[in-house]
Amino acid sequence: KKKEGRDVSLWWREKQQQLIDIVEESGPCYVYDTDTLRTYGNLVKGIEPVDRSLYAIKANANPDVLKTFRELGFGFECVSIGEVNHVIELFPDIDRKDILFTPNFAPRTEYAEALELDVNLTLDNIYPLQQWPELFKGQELFLRIDPGHGHGHHKHVKTGGKHSKFGIPRFEIKEVAELVDELDLSIKGLHAHIGSGIKDPFSWKRTAVILHEVAKELGGVEILDLGGGFGIRENETQAHLDIQEVSNSLQKFKEAHPEYELWVEPGRFLVAVAGVLLASVTQLKGKGKVKYVGVDTGMNSFIRPALYGARHTIVNLTRLNEPNSQSVNIVGPICESGDKLGIDRLFPHSEEGDVVLVANTGAYGQVMSSNYNLRAPAKDIVI
């Protein structure tokens, strides 16, 4: 949480002028701070009972971001063959088992390609084993289990329970065990990821306990991958995830079950705080008491507020030290009423050309951007 007494989540305050110069030169952009990436990487590495950490690259696939985590010793979790190939292209010498491919309802060809590439492969459905047995015969695999419950910051990101499309339900484990025997498979690891933006520190221990129950039914399981989902503060009113408590609770599990290697695969936690979205004020408008500050990029660059109602800290970077004098909506130039980066925000008097900063946007920002309205989204810059 704190580094040398400062809140590292406010790294951008110290780089105010550098960031303003960047936007003036580049236009709307995401900027990622490598030191902050490392700080969060080390926090995850500090979860002692965890033996292996993978970075879930869906959160931010920027090559320099991946290089930073590779240097810290992270493996990579990928959800498409495109992501797998991205990692292999960046790191041709990578041990293929440092990559875990976790597809969901992917076509048969992607499983075949993953086996060819020799990466760790997770099945999250019994269907591939039943329908394409010849593909898997004698293979070493991971299975993604649905522990029966989901968790997360929004219903769209809960990935457990009957109404989620992910994971093998526990009632199918017996049938899976029969197929494992029939096809001479070795189930090296079990996997679960119940959702994203979780602040309950005991969530991963709960998952471990359930995966252990399933492992007993299958036999021979060496690895429990407890997923990602580690929550962050999107704004200063939200709580931190107590990472020390995550560690303590997993330590207890590990003491009771030293037979397993524990893996985690965070995305958001590693990259969110290290990234900011920068845009420039284009126009101002007042409809009576309702005031709008328009900026030169919107939901085409950052869709989380529109999609999940996410409330990220937003500041006028040009006027960081001026008093807030009004409540405004910060909006982009996209032709949708939902194109709001922030609603009802306290803001200083602002003018055309001011730089606006949306904080904690290093995860699920640029990767979810689009060319909607044929407006090019913010580019990526790593400092």
Q: Which is nearer to ligand LLP, 58 or 254 (CB)?
A: 58
The residue among 268, 9, 273, 74 whose CA lies nearest residue 152 is 268
In the bound complex, what is the minimum distance in angstroms from residue 75's beta carbon to ligand LLP? 12
Q: Binding pattern to ligand LLP, positions 85-124, x when CB under 6 A?
A: -----------------x----------------------
For residue 193, state whether it binds ligand LLP (rule: CB under 6 A): yes
Q: Binding pattern to ligand LLP, positions 269-308, x when CB under 6 A?
A: x----------------------------------x---x
Question: Within positions 137 to 166, which residues make up the interface with ligand LLP, using CB under 6 A?
Answer: 157
Q: Which is nearer to ligand LLP, 43 or 293 (CB)?
A: 43
Q: Based on the number of CB atoms within 10 Å of its own CB, is 116 exposed (0-12), middle (13-18) or buried (19 or more)?
A: exposed
For residue 83, state whether it binds ligand LLP (rule: CB under 6 A): no
Task: Give the span between the Cα atoms of 342 and 259, in whole angstroms.
Answer: 48
DSSP state of 22: H
For residue 266, state whether it binds ligand LLP (rule: CB under 6 A): yes
For residue 205, state whether it binds ligand LLP (rule: CB under 6 A): no
Beta-bridge partners for 78:
101
> Is 335 labeled as catalytic in the residue annotation?
yes
Q: Which is nearer to ligand LLP, 348 or 362 (CB)?
A: 362
- Segment holding 341, helix H or strand E: strand 340-347
φ/ψ (deg, to 5) at 323: -70, 145
Q: Which is nearer to ligand LLP, 196 or 207 (CB)?
A: 196
CB atoms within 10 A of CB 188: 18
Question: Within positions 299 to 358, which residues make up the interface with ligand LLP, using CB under 6 A?
Answer: 304, 308
In the bound complex, what is the minimum distance in angstroms from residue 289's beta carbon to ligand LLP? 31
Do the Cβ atoms of 39 and 11 come closer than 8 Å?
no
Stretch near ligand LLP under the rule CB under 6 A, chosen from 90-98, 265-273, 319-327, 335-343: 265-273
For residue 196, state whether it binds ligand LLP (rule: CB under 6 A): yes
Question: Which is the catalytic residue, given 290, 335, 346, 376?
Answer: 335
**Distances, alpha carbon 117 to alpha carbons 98, 101, 108, 147, 222, in Å:** 12, 11, 14, 29, 22
Helix then strand then coil, % of the chain, to nearest 5:
35, 25, 40
The residue among 151, 150, 159, 154 whose CA lies nearest residue 309 is 154
In the bound complex, what is the minimum distance in angstroms from residue 304's beta carbon to ligand LLP? 5
Q: What's at 237, amino acid-wise? A: T
Sequence-separated (6 or more) residues with CB below 8 Å from residue 249: 201, 202, 204, 205
Question: Within positions 40 to 59, which residues make up the interface with ligand LLP, using CB under 6 A?
Answer: 56, 58-59
Size of the site for ligand LLP (CB under 6 A): 22
Do the Cβ atoms of 102 and 166 come closer than 8 Å?
no
Q: What residues make contact with ligand LLP under the rule CB under 6 A?
A: 56, 58-59, 77, 102, 157, 193, 196-197, 227-230, 265-269, 304, 308, 363-364
Q: Hey, which residues are catalytic here?
A: 335
